[in-house]
Structure 1
Amino acid sequence: MSRIFGAVRQNGYVVRDIHAAMTHWIEVMGVGPWYYMDRVKTDWFRHRGQDSAVEMSIALANSGDLQIELIQQRNDAPSLYREFLDAGHEGLQHMSYWSNDYQTLYDKALGLGYKVGHEGQIGGDKGRFAYFNTQAHPGTIVEISDISGTKGPFFEKVRQAALKWDGTRPIREVGAKA
């Protein structure tokens, strides 16, 4: 438990091949089902204060209450994901803390001296996220994410699916017919 951000709710892995990563988590780790989004549409995205047209694919699954996120950046647009890969890393890149009062947590972090590395929004004004420049070594970036909008119920759907997953339909494409 972080005295600043609360409980870690998600570990985010930046990978070069999201399909190979899902297969690993399914077959080796026994984690699933995976909710896969081929091209995530952001409302806006900024890297170090500058607009960036990042394109990415994301997959989500849970292991207990911890959500596992896989991210594959699909272009060379500036982002902390690209910086992580360009540094020769692949794997755990961030830990995410979720909030129903995002702005208060965001302001608190800034007030404590945290600097935004990249930030954006998915699914409207209650879908913001920010990654802070906290990487002392790979895997230690702090993300905060607003779950007061559509992300919250979706994340709960992913968690519930994992609780009763029997190994069938290990990859479920979001937006495809159920």
Structure 2
Amino acid sequence: MSRFLGEIKQLGYVVEDIEAAMKYWTEVLGVGPFYYMERVPLKNYRYKGHAYEPHNSVALANSGNVQVELIQARGETPSMYRDFIANSRSGLQHVAYWTEHFERDLQLLLDRGWKVGMSGEVGERGRFVYFETEYHPGTVIELSEVAGPKGKVFRIIRESAENWDGTDPVRAFPDLSKL
């Protein structure tokens, strides 16, 4: 456990084929169900200080209290995900800490000298930042706000994994605007 941010809550894997990755995780590893979103509705996305409109697909499932995130960057929009793939990597790209006190925790890390490489928002009170520093080759740290609808979705995903029997392994992502 981090003395600064608590438990690691998510393992983020960048993959080249998200459908194949979901099939592997559900059929071989027995992790699921995955909640899949073909295009994440990002707002205020920035990469190295520049604004872009990326097309990323995401699938989320839980294994116990740890969330597994599968990410496929579609298109050529610059991002830390594209950098990861361009460096002949696939697999674990980030570990994430979740917070309901985003401003406070972000400032704590900035004060420690961490630099933001990528940031954005998913829904209301769903901000995130990825820091530039690699703590293992290719692996970076994400700080993710989970105070609003995004936090509710993460709870739904965790609860559905608790007694998952293998049926309906890929499900539609809940509508954040209706939570």
1:14-25 superposed matches below 5 A: 14-25=14-25
Tell me what 1:172 maps to.
Answer: 171
Deviation at 1:96, TM superposition (A): 0.3
Query: What SS is found at the alignment partner of 1:43?
Result: strand
Tell me what 2:67 maps to.
Answer: 67
Tell me what 1:158 maps to.
Answer: 157
State how far apart, in whole Å, the 1-side matches of 2:25 and 2:165 are.
15
When the two chains are superposed, the root-mean-square deviation of aligned CA atoms in Å is 1.2
Q: Deviations over 1:90-126 (max 9, x none)?
A: 01000000000011001111111000010000102x1
Partner letter of residue 162 of structure 1?
Answer: A
Contact 1:135 1:141 (8 Å CA) reproduced: yes
Moved >2 Å (runs of 4+): 136-140
Deviation at 1:173, TM superposition (A): 1.7
The alignment status of 1:7 with 2:4, answered yes or no, reads no
Tell me what 2:119 maps to.
Answer: 119
Deviation at 1:139, TM superposition (A): 4.7
Partner letter of residue 161 of structure 1?
Answer: S
State how far apart, in whole Å, the 2-side matches of 1:9 and 1:139 are.
18
Q: In percent, how many aligned pairs have the same letter?
A: 47
Q: Which moved more, 1:46-55 or 1:15-24?
A: 46-55
Contact 1:57 1:71 (8 Å CA) reproduced: yes
Tell me what 2:142 maps to.
Answer: 143
State how far apart, in whole Å, the 1-side matches of 2:144 and 2:155 are.
14
Deviation at 1:53, TM superposition (A): 1.6
Tell me what 2:32 maps to.
Answer: 32
Tell me what 1:105 maps to.
Answer: 105
Q: Deviations over 1:16-37 (max 9, x none)?
A: 0000000000111000000000
Task: Decide whether aligned partners of structure 1 residues 146 and 175 sit closer, same or farther in structure 2, where only a CA change above 3 A counts.
Answer: closer
State how far apart, in whole Å, the 2-side matches of 1:174 and 1:157 are.
10
Contact 1:92 1:138 (8 Å CA) reproduced: no
Tell me what 2:49 maps to.
Answer: 49
Contact 2:153 2:174 (8 Å CA) reproduced: no
Partner letter of residue 142 of structure 1?
Answer: I
Structure 1 portions without partners, runs of 5+: none
State how far apart, in whole Å, the 1-side matches of 2:141 and 2:25 are.
23
Contact 2:84 2:138 (8 Å CA) reproduced: no
Normalised to the residue count of structure 2, the TM-score between the two structures is 0.95
Query: What SS is found at the alignment partner of 1:82?
Result: helix
State how far apart, in whole Å, the 1-side matches of 2:36 and 2:103 are.
28
Task: Decide whether aligned partners of structure 1 residues 170 and 152 sit closer, same or farther in structure 2, where only a CA change above 3 A counts.
Answer: same
Structure 2 portions without partners, runs of 5+: none
State how far apart, in whole Å, the 1-side matches of 2:119 and 2:172 are.
25
State how far apart, in whole Å, the 2-side matches of 1:138 and 1:150 are.
33
Task: Decide whether aligned partners of structure 1 residues 93 and 145 sit closer, same or farther in structure 2, where only a CA change above 3 A counts.
Answer: same
